Structures are given as structure tokens and as C-alpha cells.
Amino acid sequence: MKIVLVLLLLGAFLVAVNASRAAPENWTTADWGALIISIILSVYFFILSQLINSNAQRRAEAVANAELLTSSGLLAMNSARSLSGSESSALRVAADARAALQHYPSATEAKKTDTVNVKEDLVKSVIDAYIDLAFSTFLHSGNLARSVWTRLCKGTAAVVDDIDRLAFADSGHLKDANLASAADHVGFIELLGRALRKDAEKDLPFQGSRRLTAVWDKTKLPYSRRHQGHRSDKDEILYRLKRFETLYKYELTVMHDWEMLRRNAEKLCCEVELVNAAATDEWLAPWYVGQGTDGQPKPVNVLGRDLNERARYDKLEADDSTPRWPDPLLHGSLPQGMRTTNVDNLRHVLEKLPSPTICVLAYDLCIDTKSGKTKRLVLDGNHRLAAARRISLEHNSRLEDRSPSQQFKVLTFLIRELQPVNDWSASDEQKEPVRWKGFTPDIGLIRGIWRPS
């Protein structure tokens, strides 16, 4: 704008010079004075308009930032309420997300020196809200009334459409990768709910499992504005790993290294399965039993050291048949007293669920590439799985005697090795106590290729 102003003033001055040369008798000192006054007034009003426009722009950004922060807060509140089973709060999530997205273009652009990025925080809020919905409302989609489910899907479609309008230009060019990733995540959560709702009509065989391939079928999202081109096998695995990483960015508390899996994507396969809880006896838990100084068994962590949580005070009833560190425990043979408090608390929560379904993140270790033999380790959801098994087995009832509607289903987000992944972790030594081999230290320990010093 400044350059344009200078050019206009220079042009006016040149016109005046030419006019004075062409007809000097008609160009007086008064005309020169009027020209100078006009130039001064023009510059003054230009500066004044710039100041007013600058203040208006700052006010607009401040209002947009305030609206984003308010909507993000409402989004977090309603998504948190959905975790307790509130369907009305779940229905509000899409409206809150859309309200915040309307102010996204006007919000302040982040600078490198900024510690808070309002736009980035909004994207995280939308993703976090749908993570909560995935573990609550969408997990029990088979029990939702048709009207509630229809409105949830319409809300999801509207959110994805709004995000795509902001993330992509009319030509299809990607403008904002973070927004596009949020749209992928929201669409994945809806596909998960659709697959579970469709599967709710089928009985799961005792000790059986069923793969939910529809979770990855984006053609089931008719509202998508983007052309779904064919991805290579590696890109497809990277996409699925990204979905798992996003879904478990808070839940996964064991030490882990997602970058290692991305580097070895061609050695992996990512699936979503629905498994009968009765088939989880041989699933491994990242829980270990060590020996106290008094000779009594005690719970220890993956490093063979004392736990830094409440479970360190558990009194275990373990015998000689109970595996000792570095061997992990099986869910089918957890010793009495192991994680009792947490499991009992979760048992009361699970008894109030609208459907007997829980979710876990699991990892299949490749033990023999020729035979395809694997061992399954539950990375997240161990307490939920233990609580579900306890509910199923209480009163000395047998799992097989229960009707399918009373048998717990385990929604399993599964990372399966086609070939062993034994890289060293790229962990920050200032944050992590050790480096390990495998996606988590438990994997290297179970495989026998790593031991803490």
C-alpha cells in the first residue's frame, strides 16, 4: 500500500509539472500551494485510514481468538460429558466444533516466537473431542437410537465438510495439513462407529473374533469432498498408524516410539478386530512380578524396579507357577491382588455401560516368520480387560453359558508384525530412563533381545 501511495503522489506531481510547462501563464503559485496541500491531506488521510484499519484488524483477531477459545472450552466440556454416557453432550460436539471453525480464518496467525498457537489448539480440541467420542458414544453405537445416530453422522459430515473447505483450495491444493489430518481423524471415528453399529446385529462366536475391515473403507463416507486416490501398501500402513497414534496419544502411557514403527511400516499390518473376552486368556499384560527384599512377591515395572504408582502396594498371592520378571503375566492367570483397586473401580464403571464392549490397543509380536506364530501384548486397556474378565467370571459362572449379549466384546486396535521390528528406540535420554529395542521396552523384553542394565 505504501508503494502504491508513493506512485500515485509521484504521478500527480509529474502531471502538475507537465501542466505548468504546457501553460505556465495558467499555473500560478496558488495552484502549487493547492497541490501541496492536497498531497499533505492525502498522506494524512491515508495514514489515518491505515491506523483505523489496523485497529479494526486487531479487534477482529481478538474477537476471533476469544470465540475460538470459548468454543474450544465448550467442545472439551461436552466431549468429557460424553464419556459418562451423555448422548445430549455428544450431539453438541459437532455444533461446537463448527462454531469454532467459523472463526478459524480470522484468528491470529502463529509466529515462531509464540508459545500458544490458537489455531493449532483448536485443531487439537476437535481431535481430542472425537477421541472422547470414540471411546464412549461411537464405541456403543449399536445401542443408540436411530435418530441419535443419524444426527451424530450428520454432525460428523458437517464438521468434515467445514474442515475440508478450510484445508483445501477450490483447485484441490492442500493449504493446511493439520486441518486435513483432523478431517481424516473425524472420518475414521465415524467409520468405526458405523462398523460397530453394523456388527452389533451379529453374534460373536465364543472365543471367536471378527475383523472390521469397513473401518478403513472411506467410500462409506459419501460426503467426502476429496478424491480418494489409491495409496501404496506402505502409505496405507502409515495412514493407519497415524490413526492409532492419534487415537491413543493420551491413553498410551507405556514408553513407546511411534517413529520406529513408521520407519518399519513395510514390516507391519494394522487391523481392527472384535474379539470375545473369552479368547483373551493368552494375551500378555505389561505387568510383572518381582521379588521383594523380604522374599515376598511384589509388582515391578518393565525395568524390574519398584512401581511409581499406587499399585506398588498391592499384596500379591503368587506361587511358584506365577511368572517372574522378565516374563510378563497372562490375562488368564493374573495373581490375586494384582491391580485390585484400579480393576475394581473400572468394574463398577463397566457395569453401567450401555453395551458390554471395551477397547484395547494390542501388538502382535512375530515369533516365527515361517509359521506365523505370534504373541499378543496388550499395550493399553489392561485394567479394562481385567475388569471385563472379572465381571464375566464372577459368581463362578462360565463364559460359555452366557448369552452373546452378556459376553464382553473387546474392540482391538491391533498392530501386527509381519517381520520382527527390533530397532533401538530414539528416545530422549533426558526424559526416558533407558533406551530399548522394539516399539515398547516390553516387546524387547518378551522377545529376549533387550534387558535393562
Measured between alpha carbons, how far is 407 from 370 in angstroms, rounded to an integer?
34
8 A C-beta contact, residue 335 and residue 297: yes
% of the chain residues with pLDDT over 90? 35
- Residue 60: per-residue pLDDT: 63
Q: Does residue 53 surpass a pLDDT of 80?
A: no
- Band of the pLDDT at 50, cuts 50, 70, 90? low
Handedness of CA 50, 52, 55, 60 (dihedral sign): negative
- Band of the pLDDT at 395, cuts 50, 70, 90? very low
8 A C-beta contact, residue 75 and residue 100: yes
Q: What is the mean pLDDT of residues 170-179?
A: 81
Pick the range with the lowest mean pLDDT from 9-13, 109-113, 202-206, 218-222: 109-113
8 A C-beta contact, residue 211 and residue 271: yes
Assessment of whether the complete model's pTM goes beyond 0.85: no
Q: Does residue 16 surpass a pLDDT of 70?
A: no
User: Taking the CA of residue 47 as centre, how many other CA atoms within 13 Å lie in the half-sphere pointing to its CB?
Assistant: 5
- Residue 191: per-residue pLDDT: 93
- Residue 259: per-residue pLDDT: 95
pLDDT tens-digit map of 106-115: 776 655 445 5
| Helix, strand or coil, per DSSP, at residue 316 | coil
Integer Rg of the chain from CA: 31
- Which carries the bigger pLDDT value, residue 349 or residue 275? 275
Q: Does residue 125 surpass a pLDDT of 80?
A: yes
Domain ranges of the chain: 1-107+117-206, 278-447
Task: Report the candidate in 399, 446, 442, 361 with the shortest Cα–Cα distance to residue 279.
Answer: 399
